[in-house]
Amino acid sequence: MRRDAEMSFFAFVVLAAIVCAPASAAEQYPTKPIRLIVPFPPGGLSDALARIIARNIAQDWKQQLVIDNRPGAGTTLAADIVAKSPADGYTLFYQDITTHGINAGLYRKLPYDSLKDFVPIAMVSASPLILCVHSSLRVKSVKDLVALARVQPGRINFASSGNGTILHLSGALLMKLAKIDLTHVPYKGSAPAVTAVLSGEVAMTFGTTTSVIPHLKSGKIRGLAVTTKEPSQMFPEFPPIAQTVPGYDVKLFQGIIAPAGMPGNIVKKLNGELNAIMSRPDIKEQWATYGAEVVLLTPNEFATRFKEELDKLSKIAIDSGARMD
């Protein structure tokens, strides 16, 4: 009897240790450097914002957060690395609208499942694109643009950062909803696309805020509207396209995700830290300089938004006809 009691007690202790180990590990997390994979080269918007976040986490947690830039294959290379990494909280992914929203519909086959292989942790920013035209194009509003496009089908061209990019899909969505015909001219990046509009080579583009704001101030290009459904607090002078074209809504969103299966305690801890960082006035000011707005969501709220954006954007990508093998 005594031996049986001792064995039962021993079994209870072992079981308790196994059950409590994940919680204990989560409470102690992080105990070593964290890798934040950024699927773009150094110097861009995503890289800049990721580095600001990394510095703040390192200061708060006294633990290094290393930026690992892994550009290539339309961000699918980096996403695949993350999907196949241990779900222990030490490999995170700085995702944006391209990596999961667009690519799910752009690629015929991906080496991972854009939803099932990842766990959303926190959204960190959202921003509109700005519909801009060359100053020589005699339109002052989206209504004017749509009217002109209807009497000149196919004669108005728009620049994008490449086939299947968010700039391309923004134009494709406008054509679909407004029932107009524009000519798409792809460039290798958003900067060349904006340059093409500045020179008058192309009539219009959907520019990222950082790429077009300096030129809007110079008067060489004219801003007509923002792509988000709701008015932008950052750019109240530009009405939403949706006021003229109902149903139009495109936004750039960025967030932190991780491999699926990461312990819930670590997800919650990371979400709390990221939201605390994003709530700081200096961070909001820095985000504003990039034309981005801070977004604070719980993991569940981000998961819902994540899926909504993925479903919407993957459908736009498919409808546009832009496909990648």
Cα 276 to Cα 142, 168, 242, 284: the distances in Å are 38, 35, 33, 12
CATH level 3 topology of 29-127+252-320: D-Maltodextrin-Binding Protein; domain 2 (3.40.190)
Across the beta sheet with 129-134, what order do the strands follow?
A: 183-186, 157-160, 204-208, 129-134, 221-226
Q: 313 or 268, which is more confident? A: 268
Quick one: pLDDT band at residue 9, thresholds 50, 70, 90? very low
Q: Using one digit for the tens of pLDDT, what is the confidence trace for 122-166?
A: 999 999 999 999 999 999 999 999 999 999 999 999 999 888 889
Contact at 8 Å (CB) between 171 and 206? Answer: yes
For the chain, domain boundaries: 29-127+252-320, 129-243
Q: Using one digit for the tens of pLDDT, what is the confidence trace for 239-291?
A: 999 999 999 999 888 999 999 999 999 999 999 999 999 999 999 999 988 88
**How does the average pLDDT of the chain come out, rounded?**
89
Say which range, 7-11, 41-45, 123-127, 319-323, has the weakest mean pLDDT.
7-11
Per CATH, 29-127+252-320 and 129-243 having the same topology is answered: yes
Q: Which residues are registered as beta bridge partners of 186?
A: 160
Q: Give CA–CA dist 8/14, Å, rounded.
A: 10
For residue 301, pLDDT beyond 60: yes
Q: What is the largest CA-CA distance in the chain?
A: 95
10 Å CB burial of residue 265 (0-12, 13-18, 19+) is middle
10 Å CB burial of residue 33 (0-12, 13-18, 19+) is exposed
Percent helix, strand and coil across the chain, each rounded to 5?
50, 20, 30
User: Which helix (H) or strand (E) is 92 found in, with range?
Assistant: strand 91-96
Q: Give CA–CA dist 278/35, Å, rounded.
A: 19
The CATH classification number of 129-243 equals 3.40.190.10
For residue 169, pLDDT beyond 80: yes
Q: Give CA–CA dist 70/73, Å, rounded.
A: 10
According to the model, what pLDDT value does residue 211 have? 86
> pTM of the prediction?
0.83
Q: Using one digit for the tens of pLDDT, what is the confidence trace for 18-33?
A: 445 455 556 789 999 9
Quick one: pLDDT band at residue 321, thresholds 50, 70, 90? confident
10 Å CB burial of residue 214 (0-12, 13-18, 19+) is exposed
Residue 216 one-letter amino acid: L
